Amino acid sequence: MTKTRPPVSSAVATMRAASSFTRRTLLKSTIAAGGVAAMGPWIVQDARSSSGTLSILHWDDELPDPVIPEFEKKTGIKVNKTPFSQNEEQINKLQATAGTGFDLCQPTHDRAPQFKEIGVLQPFDTNKLKLLDGLLPAMLEGSTKQWTWDSKLYHVPHCWGSEAISWRTDLVTLDYKTLSYGTLWDEQFKGKIQGRPHSLLLGIGLWWDRTGKLPSNRMLDAFKDEATMRKIYDPILKFAIEKKSWVKQFWDSADNTKSGLIENGVVIGQTWDGPALSLKKQGKPVSYMAPQEGAIAWLDGWAMTTGAKNVAQAYEWINYLHSPEVSAKVADGSGYNPVARGADALLSPAAKKNFAESYPDDATSKLWQRPPEPSWFAELRTQYAEKFKAA
């Protein structure tokens, strides 16, 4: 996927493996997953004998109905949920409570260094994670490679997705062969684009790297040290500020991504796949596609907090989510992608079609995964994003 650099070698290996998992190869794994799916009834049987509550801090669009209601009905466990829309929001909540108040949280895979540093997590007892062997190897590796320290595992997969280009199909026609993060900055889209500040900066960097304007090893050089990051990001920020009038809105959640496209005059944007594909599934004139530079791939998972009180219930929850049936429901309802083997065969025809249209031709081989982010990088990136937003 990307050229290997020492600080990010394991992330690169993970996403190289992930890029080989097209819908076709996933469908081939259905038979192999049959034995795993057969385990489902004993999970529910054990859960029925339990009770109590479970408190989760979760991404606001990754637990669509009927995922939680069916878990509560099958297990008798009441789920208390606190949604968030950005990793920074999640980290701030956990730091404020020193890891108490929630049993499980949902870090994105690249935030491992930050979570290790703030010390709000406890390791999993992998003997109680009954369906790990039933997960897609590339997705499981996304957790184990970055979230294992002191020989203990702190993260397991939930779903994966990407950030690329979404647009109004009734207002513009786009083609994969010419689609680029640079497309956003065409004159025709002035005052009509949306994105997150830091994501738009990354997209510009990937575009400039591909065209040779600012070589950066697909932006991986920015993770070397602060001096190198500034050298790369300073000209990117200058360009972004000059083009600030192109931005109709900065989005910060799935909901305002959708409202931007449907209600607020946005024609095109750099967004997550889930919100756009959910609209597409509803029949709205919206589509989503990876550009030539590669969709920015991510993996969200589950981690247990140091203050977890409902530990048994937490394991019930994760084992429930890791079944092919429930992994498929998470993906089908959210617009993201499943992590369990065999789940793809259980997706709706619309979801399968959306995936094929979002990652056409060689798009899955070009996925770009955010490397693990040290704290210095996250802090400096935030500074650049805020300068862009405030310009």
What domains lie within the chain, and their CATH numbers? 6-160+297-366 (3.40.190.10), 163-295+373-390 (3.40.190.10)
Q: How confident is the model at residue 11 (pLDDT cuts 50, 70, 90)?
A: very low
pLDDT higher at 143 or 4: 143
Give 330-373 pLDDT, tens digit per residue: 999 999 999 999 999 999 999 999 999 999 999 999 999 889 99
How confident is the model at residue 51, as a pLDDT? 75
Q: Which residue has the tokens 């009038």?
A: 245
According to DSSP, the residues that pair with 305 across neighbouring strands are 121
Cis peptide before 137 (omega within 30 of 0): no
d(CA 352, CA 346): 10
> Which value, in Å, is the radius of gyration of the alpha carbons in the chain?
20
Give 282-321 pLDDT, tens digit per residue: 999 999 999 999 999 999 999 999 999 999 999 999 999 9
Give 199-250 pLDDT, tens digit per residue: 999 999 999 999 999 999 999 999 999 999 999 999 999 999 999 999 999 9
- Name the average pLDDT for the chain: 89
- What burial letters (b/e) apply to 69-102, b meaning 16+ CB within 10 Å? eebeeebebebeeebbbebeebbebbeeeebebb
How confident is the model at residue 23, as a pLDDT? 35
Give 29-58 pLDDT, tens digit per residue: 333 333 333 334 334 444 444 579 999 999
Give 167-184 pLDDT, tens digit per residue: 999 999 999 999 999 999
